[in-house]
Amino acid sequence: MTEQKTPKLRSRAWFDNPDNIDMTSLYLERYLNFGLSLEELRSGKPIIGIAQSGSDLSPCNRHHLVLAERIREGIREMGGIALEFPVHPIQETGKRPTAGLDRNLSYLGLVEALYGYPLDGVVLTTGCDKTTPAMLMAAATVNIPAIALSVGPMLNGWHKGERTGSGTIVWKGRQMMAAGELDADGFIKLVASSAPSTGYCNTMGTATTMNSLAEALGMMLPGSAAIPAPYRDRQECAYHTGKRIVDMVREDLKPSDILTLDAFHNAIVVNAAIGGSTNAPIHLAALARHIGVDLPLKDWERLGHKIPLLVNLQPAGEYLGEDYYHAGGVPAVVAQLIGQGLIKESALTVNGKTMGDNCRDATIEDDKVIKTFDNPLVEEAGFLVLSGNLFDAAIMKTSVISKEFRDRYLSNPEDPDAFEGPAIVFDGPEDYHHRIDDPAMGITADTLMFMRGAGPIGYPGAAEVVNMRPPAYLITEGVSALPCIGDGRQSGTSGSPSILNASPEAAAMGGLALLRTGDRVRMDLKKGKVDVLISDEEMAARRAELEAAGGYKYPASQTPWQEIQRALVGQMDTGAILEGSEKYQRIAQTMGLP
Binding site for Mg ion (CB under 5 A): 92, 129, 206, 491
Q: How far apart are CA 284 and CA 267, in angstroms?
A: 9
- DSSP SS3 for 318: coil
User: Which residue has the closest beta carbon to Mg ion?
Assistant: 491
CA 89 to chain centre: 15
In the 3-class helix/strand/coil scheme, how is 136-165 assigned residue by residue? HHHHHHHCCCEEEEECCECCCEEECCEEEC
Question: Is residue 93 at the binding interface for ligand FES, with CB under 6 A as the rule?
Answer: yes
Q: How far apart are CA 207 and CA 150, in angstroms?
A: 9
- DSSP SS3 for 102: helix
Q: Which residue lies nearer to ligand FES by CB, 144 or 210?
A: 210
Q: Which residue lies nearer to ligand FES by CB, 200 or 554?
A: 200
| Residue 491 near which of Mg ion, ligand FES, none (CB within 5-8 Å, type-dependent) | Mg ion
Q: How far apart are CA 321 and CA 224, in angstroms?
A: 12
Shortest Cβ 267–ligand FES spacing (Å): 19
| Residue 322 near which of Mg ion, ligand FES, none (CB within 5-8 Å, type-dependent) | none
Q: How far apart are CA 142 and CA 147, in angstroms?
A: 13
Question: Is residue 128 at the binding interface for ligand FES, with CB under 6 A as the rule?
Answer: yes
Q: Which residue lies nearer to ligand FES by CB, 60 or 105?
A: 60
Task: Tell me whether strands 81-86 and 47-52 are parallel, antiparallel or unpaired.
Answer: parallel
Question: Is residue 502 at the binding interface for ligand FES, with CB under 6 A as the rule?
Answer: no
Q: Which residue lies nearer to Mg ion by CB, 74 or 133?
A: 133
Question: DSSP characters for 418-457?
Answer: -EEEEEEEEEHHHHHHHHTT-GGG---TT-EEEEES-STT
Neighbours of 566 (CB within 10 A): 17
Q: How far apart are CA 174 and CA 176, in angstroms?
A: 5
Which residue, 349, 148, 136, is CA-closest to 242?
Answer: 148
Which residue of 102, 129, 464, 573 would you call a contact of ligand FES, by CB under 6 A? 129
Question: Is residue 315 at the binding interface for ligand FES, with CB under 6 A as the rule?
Answer: no
Q: Which residue lies nearer to ligand FES by CB, 43 or 93?
A: 93
Number of residues this chain uses to bind ligand FES (CB under 6 A)? 10
Which residues between 352 and 381 bind ligand FES (CB under 6 A)?
none
Could you tell me if 41 and 15 are in contact, meaning their C-beta atoms sit under 8 angstroms apart? Answer: yes
Candidates 25-33, 198-206, 306-314, 426-434; binding stretch for ligand FES (CB under 6 A) = 198-206
- Give the chain's radius of gyration (CA, Å): 24
Which residue of 60, 253, 395, 451 would you call a contact of ligand FES, by CB under 6 A? 60
| Residue 256 near which of Mg ion, ligand FES, none (CB within 5-8 Å, type-dependent) | none
Shortest Cβ 211–ligand FES spacing (Å): 9
Which residue, 394, 179, 395, 376, is CA-closest to 274?
Answer: 376
Q: Which residue lies nearer to ligand FES by CB, 202 or 574?
A: 202
The helix-helix angle for 184-192 and 168-178 (nearest 10°) equals 160
Q: Which residue lies nearer to ligand FES by CB, 200 or 264?
A: 200
| Residue 427 near which of Mg ion, ligand FES, none (CB within 5-8 Å, type-dependent) | none
* Residues recorded for the chain: 594
Shortest Cβ 129–Mg ion spacing (Å): 5
Which residue of 48, 50, 170, 207 would you call a contact of ligand FES, by CB under 6 A? 207
Q: How far apart are CA 2 and CA 11, in angstroms?
A: 18
Q: How far apart are CA 368 and CA 358, in angstroms?
A: 23
Question: Is residue 280 at the binding interface for ligand FES, with CB under 6 A as the rule?
Answer: no
Candidates 197-205, 258-266, 432-440, 582-590; binding stretch for ligand FES (CB under 6 A) = 197-205
Could you tell me if 120 and 9 are in contact, meaning their C-beta atoms sit under 8 angstroms apart? Answer: yes
- C-alpha distances in angstroms, 472 versus 181, 199, 419, 438, 518? 12, 33, 22, 9, 21
Q: Which residue lies nearer to ligand FES by CB, 72 or 130?
A: 130
Question: Is residue 214 at the binding interface for ligand FES, with CB under 6 A as the rule?
Answer: no
| Residue 247 near which of ligand FES, Mg ion, none (CB within 5-8 Å, type-dependent) | none
Shortest Cβ 116–Mg ion spacing (Å): 31
Q: How far apart are CA 345 and CA 266, in angstroms?
A: 9
Q: Which residue lies nearer to ligand FES by CB, 166 or 351?
A: 166
Could you tell me if 372 and 336 are in contact, meaning their C-beta atoms sit under 8 angstroms apart? Answer: yes
Q: How far apart are CA 87 and CA 134, in angstroms?
A: 10
Q: Which residue lies nearer to Mg ion by CB, 11 or 168?
A: 168
Question: Is residue 464 at the binding interface for ligand FES, with CB under 6 A as the rule?
Answer: no
Question: Is residue 92 at the binding interface for ligand FES, with CB under 6 A as the rule?
Answer: yes
Instruction: Sketch the per residue contact string, 18 through 57, with ligand FES: x for CB under 6 A, - otherwise.
Output: ----------------------------------------
Segment holding 126, helix H or strand E: strand 121-126
- DSSP SS3 for 69: helix
Which residues between 532 and 561 bind ligand FES (CB under 6 A)?
none
Q: Which residue lies nearer to Mg ion by CB, 95 or 586?
A: 95
Which residue, 209, 285, 206, 94, is CA-closest to 491?
Answer: 206
Q: How far apart are CA 501 and CA 488, in angstroms?
A: 5
| Residue 215 near which of Mg ion, ligand FES, none (CB within 5-8 Å, type-dependent) | none
Q: Which residue lies nearer to Mg ion by CB, 98 or 336?
A: 98
Question: Is residue 200 at the binding interface for ligand FES, with CB under 6 A as the rule?
Answer: yes
Residues that bind ligand FES (CB under 6 A): 60, 92-93, 128-129, 166, 200-201, 205, 207
